[in-house]
Amino acid sequence: MAAMDVVDGSNETPVKVEGKRLAVLVCWILGFGSLVSWNSMLTIGDYYYALFPDYHPSRVLTLVYQPFALGTMAILAYNEAKVDTRKRNIAGYILFFLCTLALIVVDLASSGKGGAGNYIAICVFVAGFGVADAHVQGGMVGDLAFMNPEFIQSFFAGLAASGVLTSGLRLMTKAVFDKSSNGLRKGTMLFLAISTFFEFLCILLYAFVFAKLPIVKHYRAKAAREGSTTVASDLAAAGIQTEPNGTAGIDAKFPARLTNKELLLKNIDYALDLFLIYVLTLSIFPGFLYPLVLIAMYNVWDLIGRYIPLIKSIKIESRKWLMIAILSRFLFIPAFYFTAKYGDQGWMIMLISLLGLTNGHLTVCVMTAAPKGYTGPEANALGNILVVFLLGGIFAGVALDWLWIIGNGTF
């Protein structure tokens, strides 16, 4: 296991802390698990279209998912200082696991039949995905915000990797099952089974592995010394008892923390950065792109973009340049419009690759730059606030996505 020098906040002396490589890997899997179920739902959309041709499942399910994700996230962010991170994250992964498993049960119980009852049941479980997403994404980002920036980068790379896996698998299942009877359904069951497995793996990793890694214990104990109460259960699970006020056996002299409002005002540019990244991306993707190959291309380049910030020389750290880069992405809208009208497939593939690359790169640049210089409790609060704006951008982008349909004159 990799050891790294970490400066301990109390006396500024570097201490050797084990487990960085394993922590990066676990963060990647936890990121993967927090989006794989929803990505599977998006990818198996054609199966639900075959079952429920009159109900427009892809768009309706997205509009069910997003308000639950955003609403729950807003409530959790507002109360983040009182919410136990361990219970929040484990509850989120358990909810993902149960809702994904329930989708398999509904399909098996109805022998793959359509009908309004089944459709309503699917909508309920998709709303569950939204609630689970808010628990996990905000909880994990808040938790990782006061740790090594590579952890948050790895978590966001895992999110993107779930898109790569699901679109890659979809292309394979289409090739393998298309000719067989009930091929769509077999592919769908495979997707949901893989998602269920990963959600279960995430519950185990978070509950029994992540909290016990020495480097994670180090960062959480440091956050507790700075006044964080959200890490108490995770420290207890790692065998570190905290005082009733949340400090890890240290005198309770922590700095006054900024309020959520002060944190938002100090970081409003970062919050808007994330909102604008996702408004633009989701207003184009995936509604504008139907071919599976284009969706796969977007996902691959989004994943690559999330690793590029590890190369320090091309990582954008300046707040001004981040905003300029993000605003310049709005040129994609006329570019996509004219390419769809007059261009060929090659230009479209180039554009979609750039859309994915910039989405991934800028997301990680913002998420790793924003928490720098804050105490543990402030970084946790800021991570939650940033996820609210990220989900708000996704929600607004999904709503704008309908404009492409209206523009085409069809629902």
Question: What does the pLDDT read at residue 7?
Answer: 43
281-299: pLDDT as tens digits: 988 876 666 677 888 899 9
Question: What does the pLDDT read at residue 250?
Answer: 47
Residue 399 banded pLDDT, cuts 50, 70, 90: confident
Q: Characterize 305-317 residue by residue with b for buried, 16 or more Cβ atoms within 10 angstroms of its Cβ, and e for exposed.
A: bbbebeeeeebbe
303-326: pLDDT as tens digits: 999 999 999 999 999 999 999 999
Residue 3 banded pLDDT, cuts 50, 70, 90: low
Give percent above pLDDT 90 in the chain.
56
Question: What does the pLDDT read at residue 113?
Answer: 82
**Statement: residue 249 has pLDDT above 70:** no
User: Mean pLDDT lowest for which of 90-104, 215-229, 230-244?
Assistant: 230-244
Q: Which residue has the higher pLDDT, 404 or 292?
A: 292
Question: What does the pLDDT read at residue 16?
Answer: 58
Residue 42 banded pLDDT, cuts 50, 70, 90: confident
Question: What does the pLDDT read at residue 12?
Answer: 38
Q: Which residue has the higher pLDDT, 81 or 13?
A: 81
- Least Cα distance to 146 among 249, 215, 75 occurs for 215
Chain-wide mean pLDDT for the chain?
Answer: 87
